[in-house]
């Protein structure tokens, strides 16, 4: 492979910047940037050294910068190749001058994600671990960071390894039967195979269920603020965000569309969605806003159902039933919030089913946030192995479909070769997921989304 180089720190001016070089010629190319007296070729690997870097193009010998250089000898490096990392001052001129020197001496610029791709190709990472690096770089909250680190440390890979071993065991027994098909010998206990398929389906289904949580954590757990017009939905949004995000007015129906913003609570990203007040309306635009409100309820994981504290519980229950209609609410956490306690005295709920607040005065908002956070704790989201990739979801769906076909084939006593083909398909999808089977197009699509220095 060619020796590649790239600036590995974000664009812009900072105190320092880092330039990465990887490939079989990394050491010899980097050595040309330093004086012979530096003794670069003799430097010990995995030790940082202070050095002076020069411009050697066209016979010139002009000082560029004083830098810190670290050598990593193959295979003990991130990419598995010889790697050199140069930490220089953050000047854009210095950064581009060093890159210019490296290219003039035989490097080429790295493609997006090429360092990580080389780590994968050299067996330092499998594909889910490589993909986790992109999630780790993008992680902006503690929970997203935790999910990415779990995948990078191999949680998903370990689960896939167990599934692969079980599928290989099944495939080998079925293939053995095919070798002796003329003798009609059964090497595989059909009951045991059915039990194995049931276990595989359970594992895959659990991972597929985690995709819902994984995408929520990545994009923000959707929290819908719902209720009739003029009950204080926009006031509550502003109070929770602690800034004026939504227009507040005494005129019912002020909010005509959904308003979204994110909020980090105890390390988890939530996406609050203020909705249009739900009521019967002849206004075309308001009706469109109400339709969007109902769609938001369908997509939300948490619903803050806000109502006027002067209402009775019977009136609130009737309001919810009339509003939601056929919308499935079983998988959602509904938090009932009685607002405007500043207009009514002594309102409380000893049962704990309702939180009474004054959004206008900022009273008891902590109870609302605690209840939202409880949703994460109750579902154990922070402890799950989470899928965040559509690619993983699609391949796991393929594995599940193949396992179901194999199960049906065994129950219907179909020929062994048909069942074996379904098991082969499951193994193929599993191989694509982990990267043991991969095409250039798949790899280019995955690593092309990375930044150039990674």
pLDDT at 351: 56
pLDDT score of 252 more than 70: no
pLDDT at 77: 95
pLDDT score of 19 more than 90: yes
Please give the share of the chain, as a percent, with pLDDT higher than 90.
29
Residues 6+ away with beta carbon under 8 Å from 260: 271, 272, 273, 274
- Cis amide bond preceding 216, omega within 30: no
Kindly state the average pLDDT of the residues 384-391: 82
Q: What are the start-end ranges of the H helices in 331-389?
A: 365-378
Give the model confidence (pLDDT) of 357-377 as tens digits: 888 888 899 999 999 999 888
The arrangement of strands across the sheet holding 16-22 comes to 48-55, 62-72, 83-89, 16-22, 4-7, 108-109
Lowest mean pLDDT among 57-71, 92-106, 191-205, 365-379: 57-71
Query: Regarding predicted confidence, which is higher, 137 or 258?
Result: 137
pLDDT at 289: 59
Distance CA 132, CA 63 (A): 40
Confidence of residue 267 (pLDDT cuts 50, 70, 90): confident
Kindly state the average pLDDT of the residues 249-262: 59
Instruction: Please give the radius of gyration of the chain, using alpha carbons only, rounded to the nearest integer.
Output: 30
Q: Calculate the average pLDDT of the chain.
A: 83
Please state the three-class secondary structure of 80-95 as a single string: CCCEEEEEEECCHHHH
pLDDT at 385: 76
pLDDT at 442: 72
Distance CA 174, CA 417 (A): 8
pLDDT at 58: 65
Give the model confidence (pLDDT) of 293-310 as tens digits: 778 888 889 999 999 888
**Rounded to 5 degrees, what are φ and ψ at 407?**
-60, -45
Q: Which of 49, 18, 54 is nearest to 36 (CA)?
A: 54
Kindly state the average pLDDT of the residues 11-32: 91
Kindly state the average pLDDT of the residues 67-89: 95
Query: Regarding predicted confidence, which is higher, 222 or 138?
Result: 222
pLDDT at 186: 57
Confidence of residue 59 (pLDDT cuts 50, 70, 90): low
Taking a C-beta distance cutoff of 8 angstroms, is the pair 32, 54 a contact?
Answer: no
Give the model confidence (pLDDT) of 154-185 as tens digits: 888 888 888 888 888 888 878 777 766 555 55
Residues 6+ away with beta carbon under 8 Å from 373: 265, 266, 268
pLDDT at 248: 47
Q: Which of 308, 307, 273 is nearest to 293 (CA)?
A: 273
Domains, the chain, with CATH or none: 4-121 (3.30.1360.120), 155-215+389-435 (1.20.120.430), 224-382 (3.40.50.300)
pTM of the complete model: 0.74
Distance CA 220, CA 271 (A): 5
How many C-alpha atoms does 240 have within 13 Å on its Cβ side?
28
């Amino acid at each position: 492979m060619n020796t590649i180089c790239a600036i590995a720190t974000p664009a812009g001016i900072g105190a320092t910047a880092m330039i990465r070089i990887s490939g079989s010629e990394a050491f010899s190319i980097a050595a040309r940037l330093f004086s012979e007296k530096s003794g670069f070729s003799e430097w010990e690997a995995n030790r940082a050294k202070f050095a002076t870097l020069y411009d050697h193009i066209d016979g010139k010998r002009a000082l560029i910068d004083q830098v810190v250089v670290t050598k990593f000898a193959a295979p003990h490096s991130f990419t598995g190749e010889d790697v050199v990392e140069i930490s220089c001052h953050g000047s854009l001129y210095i950064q581009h001058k060093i890159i210019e020197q490296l290219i003039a001496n035989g490097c080429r610029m790295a493609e997006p994600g090429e360092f990580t791709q080389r780590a994968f190709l050299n067996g330092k990472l499998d594909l889910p671990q490589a993909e986790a690096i992109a999630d780790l770089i993008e992680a902006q909250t503690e929970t997203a960071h935790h999910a990415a680190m779990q995948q990078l440390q191999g949680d998903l890979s370990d689960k896939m390894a167990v599934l692969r071993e079980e599928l290989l065991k099944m495939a080998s027994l079925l293939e053995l039967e095919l070798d002796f098909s003329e003798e009609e010998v059964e090497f595989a206990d059909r009951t045991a195979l059915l039990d194995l398929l049931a276990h595989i389906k359970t594992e895959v289904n659990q991972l597929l269920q985690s995709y819902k949580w994984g995408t929520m954590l990545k994009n923000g757990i959707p929290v819908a603020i719902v209720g009739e017009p003029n009950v204080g939905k926009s006031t509550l949004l502003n109070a929770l965000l602690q800034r004026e995000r939504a227009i507040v007015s005494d005129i019912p129906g002020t909010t005509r569309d959904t308003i979204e913003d994110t909020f980090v609570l105890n390390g988890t990203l939530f996406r609050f969605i203020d909705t249009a007040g739900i009521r019967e309306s002849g206004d075309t635009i308001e009706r469109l806003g109400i339709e969007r409100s109902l769609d938001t309820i369908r997509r939300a994981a948490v619903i803050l159902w806000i109502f006027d504290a002067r209402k009775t519980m019977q009136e609130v229950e009737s309001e919810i039933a009339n509003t939601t209609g056929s919308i499935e609410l079983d998988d959602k956490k509904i938090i009932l919030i009685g607002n405007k306690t500043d207009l009514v005295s002594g309102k409380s709920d000893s049962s704990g089913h309702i939180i009474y607040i004054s959004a206008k005065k900022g009273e008891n908002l902590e109870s609302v946030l605690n209840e939202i956070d409880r949703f994460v704790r109750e579902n154990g989201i922070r402890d799950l192995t989470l899928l965040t990739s559509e690619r993983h979801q699609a391949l796991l769906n393929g594995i599940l479909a193949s396992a179901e076909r194999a199960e049906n084939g065994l129950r219907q006593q179909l020929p062994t070769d048909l069942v074996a083909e379904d098991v082969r398909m499951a193994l193929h999808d599993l191989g694509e997921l982990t990267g043991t089977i991969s095409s250039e197009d798949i790899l280019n699509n995955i690593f092309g989304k990375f930044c150039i220095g990674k």
